[in-house]
A and B are shown apart, each in its own frame.
Chain A
Amino acid sequence: MYEMQKIEKKFPGVHALKAVDFQVKRGEIVGLVGENGAGKSTLMKVIYGAYAPDSGKILKDGKEVRFGSPIKALEAGIGMVFQEQSLILNLSVMENIFLGNEAQFRRAGLINWKAMADAARKQLKKVKLDIDPSRKTSSLSFAQRQLVELAKVLTLEERVQGDLVILLDEPTSVLAKEEVELLFGIIRDLTKRASFIFVSHRMDEVLAISDRIYVMKDGAVVDVVAKGKATIEDIQHKMVGRAVNKEYYRERRQKPYDESRVLVELDGVSLPGRVRDISFKLHAGEVLCLVGAEGSGREGIVRAIYGMITPTVGSLKIKGKPLQQTTPRFAAEAGVGYIPRERKVEGIVSGMNVFENMTLSQQQRFSKGGVLKIAAEKALARDWIKKLAIKASSENADCGNLSGGNQQKVVLSKWRSGGSDIMLLDHPTRGLDIGAKEDVYEMVRDMSDDGAAILLVADTFEEAIGLAHTIIVVKDGKMQKRFDYKPGAKPEPYDLLHHMV
């Protein structure tokens, strides 16, 4: 009914989809799993029309189709229920359901609200939601909104010819256990109206609901598992089963850390939102990695140490003292350096040159009475350009024009040149090519040798295992499990995944 043949998609430096074959039969629920970066989200975007594939064929009801935009995909009967919900909160439920399709309810230019409400009730019935369609969407619970979203996609049933394919992206991430059951019941029931593609990190749920499961790794489908033919463990092995190259992560350079010097100490810290009761110590020379699914609370913990979020309970000490004020400025002065995930947005200021970026966090040191010592700034920048082999024409080059790896080096030298010895690395290798990644790993080891403490949120399990002395698995805002690793005695990615889901 829906079929992809040999779909290819490349981005600069990344081969995101490698000859992917994918098939959905009528009334089927197909699971789609894979680690972050395995190509899942690219595949989804191709399915719902946000990306066009570079080559390959997509067949819908036997005919070849090409979508230039999500709207075209919708018209072909392919709908998407987004993870971040796509309802407009200030509109009523019925308006959301029929947004963009109000024309059918117009009489003499005016909207017939009663007709729309009746039609909306009909749609809501499909998902067994009994609410007043004129209610404002913002007053609904998350579970109800999810169902409204589903009802909105189901209007395609009346609007388009042919069978429906509905893509569900992490639909359960904000739902409670009973709500998940309810949703699954409804989805199973709806298979007589549509086919579903179910994407989730929660392996047990994928197994419970899917008829077949596609497992993706490194941009390719590595296996298709039929219902009842595999356990969670089998699938997880398929998702991660790759040998870790020890040299890649400079494991030989990993040395034991100094247990006597605690640089950061969290004791029973809870944050606004879902992060609860986090306790750990970060030592000089240690690389501590937080592992968890997207939204598990890793970023919150990092940002709390950098003073961007104030803990609601518990104590957070930097070098034995709590911060005077929880602001990034005080954290930075206490020696904390932050390498954010969004390098281009939060890492570097594009439009400012290399030396301006490097001294942005340490202007006190490079000024007197508020007047900058520009010569000293330039000298510092030249020094670090040499030290880290940054490829920039000079210290006056605009950071926005540097390559990703070199931008990351500028961000790193910003903190290291200022003497920061507590480094928070949030996805430091995201979007970098392999050579640049290796440079970053090299720098991580250098920093450890210098006695810096490093808190890492890694891009992949391999990276986490390869680099870390200590790994803490975070799940739903709580510490799930702690691993202490020594070089040569590192565990498999599978052990981590096991505790994550």
Chain B
Amino acid sequence: MQNVLTRDNLLKWAPLLVLLALVLFFSVINPNFLSLRNFARLSISASPALMVAVGVTFIIIMGSIDLSMEGAVSALAVIFCYLLVWLGGSVAGLGCIAIPAILLLGAIVGAINGYIHVKLRIPSFMSSLAMGFVGTGAAVLMTGGNIVKIDDEVFRSLLTYRLLGFPLMAYVAFAFLLLGWVIQSYTRLGRNFYAVGGGEDLAHASGVHVKRVRVLGFALAGFFFSVAGLLQVAKLGQAESVTGANLMFISITSVVVGGVALWGGIGGVWNALVGVLIVAVINNGMIVIGIPDFIQDGLLGLLVIVAVVLSTDRRSVAFVK
């Protein structure tokens, strides 16, 4: 029993300690790292990734995985831009409808994704990967390979308007993080994610509608992907078929490194935050101290393996493919 406790504790706090150590390390090498300006920059790069990570956290808690984020974010971002332009080009006017519309669409896309996984009974990593490809393809189809620009000062204020030095989008991301936390901790759906991840058969035997929980989980993930898409557009002022590129690797890495167990049942949105910050700090810190940033993918890859190894209770696994 003692062993389990220390193991649990290690898993719980290790990510945060890693984050602090990294911050310390980079600031010792280059004190500029600790500046408000650098942190603001860090928050801009981390906000969209955080939204994707929060979305996929719910799925991983269930023991599944969603790899559709790149396609979903690209497609949603492109649709948002077209919609905004079509509705007059500014969220100050009629264009404000575009935002809830995209959030809803994101949830619908996610629900379809989950429905395919549950209904056709295919492993989520493949069904969602395939759906991601469909999303990217759809984005190319819509844009014809071009960039869709938007020119809306009001919407761009997410990036340009600063409050206490941080851009508005950092606060928006934080608000959605809190929303994720409320869902995770205070709703039946959120708690059912944990039940499914902790023991699907047992949850089913207790009357949890496992299939419905799964589909709703994917819908929720889709909703957060659409938030990520909006923030990406705000950040870049444009959308294209590669708007979501690389988000898969970053978000999965973040969630796992943050301490959400791939087997399900353990961790939550705060782990996702810590994980996203770890990844963002590594990325940003390397630039600040002048190390070429391309090493980070390799480093993160290895970090993921370490994190998964640490979080896997090997006694409970018969075999793995």
Contacts and interface: CB of A to CB of B under 8 A. Distances in A.
Contacts of B198: 88-91
Given A88-B199, A91-B198, A102 B207 contact: no
B9 to A, nearest CB: 11
Interface residues of B, number: 22
Nearest to A87: B202
Contacts of A88: 194-195, 198-199, 202-203, 265
Interface string A157-177: 000000000000000000000
Interface in A78-131: 86-91, 95, 99-103, 106, 109-111, 113
A110 B206 contact: no
A99 B195 contact: yes
Contacts of B208: 99-100
Nearest to A140: B1
A90 B194 contact: yes
B195 A110 contact: no
Q: How large is the interface on A (under 10, 10 to 19, 20 to 34, 35 or more residues)?
A: 20 to 34
A90 B196 CA distance: 10
Contact of A74 (B5, B188, B207): B207
B195 A86 contact: no
Nearest to A105: B188
A111 B186 contact: yes
B6 interface: no
B237 to A, nearest CB: 36
Most chain B CB neighbours (cut-off 10 Å) among A88, A109, A111: A88
Contacts of A501: none
Contacts of B229: none
A67 to B, nearest CB: 13
A442 B273 CA distance: 66
Contacts of B8: 138
A89 B8 CA distance: 12
B187 interface: yes
A95 B191 contact: yes
B205 interface: yes
13 contacts: A88-B194, A89-B199, A90-B198, A91-B198, A95-B195, A99-B206, A103-B188, A106-B188, A110-B186, A110-B187, A111-B186, A113-B186, A138-B4
7 interchain residue pairs of minimum CB distance:
A100-B207, A88-B198, A90-B265, A90-B198, A100-B206, A99-B206, A110-B186
Interface of B: 1, 4-5, 8, 182, 186-188, 191, 194-195, 197-199, 202-203, 205-208, 265-266
Interface of A: 70-71, 74, 86-91, 95, 99-103, 106, 109-111, 113, 138-139, 141
